[in-house]
Amino acid sequence: MNVKFINPFLEGTISVLKTMAFVEPRAGKPYMKMDNLAKGDISGIIGLTGSATGSLALSFSEAAILKIVSNMLGENIKSVNTDIKDAVGEITNMISGVARKNLEAQGFNIQAAIPTVVAGKSHSITHVMGGPSLIIPFEIDEGSFVVDVCLSE
């Protein structure tokens, strides 16, 4: 996986969550993940096709997503419900949109499919292309989440 894919997804994540959820995610050091195990309690995954093919997943700890969606909706949500699941899909969609726009500037033309959402402890994320994926870890005050992307040209 090419390192030039890191920044578009990193910037997309920060931009979407800052704008829509009023949080300031702090990015950690990216690393490669070799297994299918999700890093969080709820994940959104979206297929990407075009001049690069693969998939993007966002995997949130429960504490992090409750804070993010509570801020987005302007109400205090205390457990993972339909609103949270819908919002994870929409956040994944928006981050993919910003990242693809950023990648367009590097000459990539990438389309996205409809996101799906999986919840539950120790769920798995199956990337379209298989193989290792790139993890960009993030923290907000309430908890952690990761961008999990597997994309090849």
Partner 1 sequence: MNEKNIKILVVDDFATMRKVVRNLLKQVGYEDIVEAEDGVMALKALKSQKIDVVVSDWNMPNMSGLELLKAVRADADLAKTPFLMVTAEALQDNVVAAVKAGVSNYIVKPFTAEVLNEKIKKIMDSINK
Residues that bind partner 1 (CB under 8 A): 15-16, 19-20, 69, 72-74, 82-83, 86-87, 89-90, 93-94, 96-98, 100-101, 112
Taking a C-beta distance cutoff of 8 angstroms, is the pair 123, 59 a contact?
no
> Coil, strand, or helix at residue 62?
helix
Sign of the Cα pseudo-torsion (90, 24, 141, 40, in order): positive
Taking a C-beta distance cutoff of 8 angstroms, is the pair 56, 45 a contact?
yes
Sign of the Cα pseudo-torsion (138, 1, 38, 53, in order): positive
Query: Which CB sits closer to partner 1, 112 or 147?
Result: 112
Q: How far is the CB of 57 from partner 1 (least distance, A)?
A: 17
Query: Which CB sits closer to partner 1, 37 or 73?
Result: 73
Query: Which CB sits closer to partner 1, 15 or 116?
Result: 15
Residue whose tokens read 């997804």: 9
Q: How far is the CB of 35 from partner 1 (least distance, A)?
A: 30
Q: How far is the CB of 83 from partner 1 (least distance, A)?
A: 5
Query: Which CB sits closer to partner 1, 68 or 150?
Result: 68
Taking a C-beta distance cutoff of 8 angstroms, is the pair 151, 48 a contact?
yes
Q: How far is the CB of 33 from partner 1 (least distance, A)?
A: 26
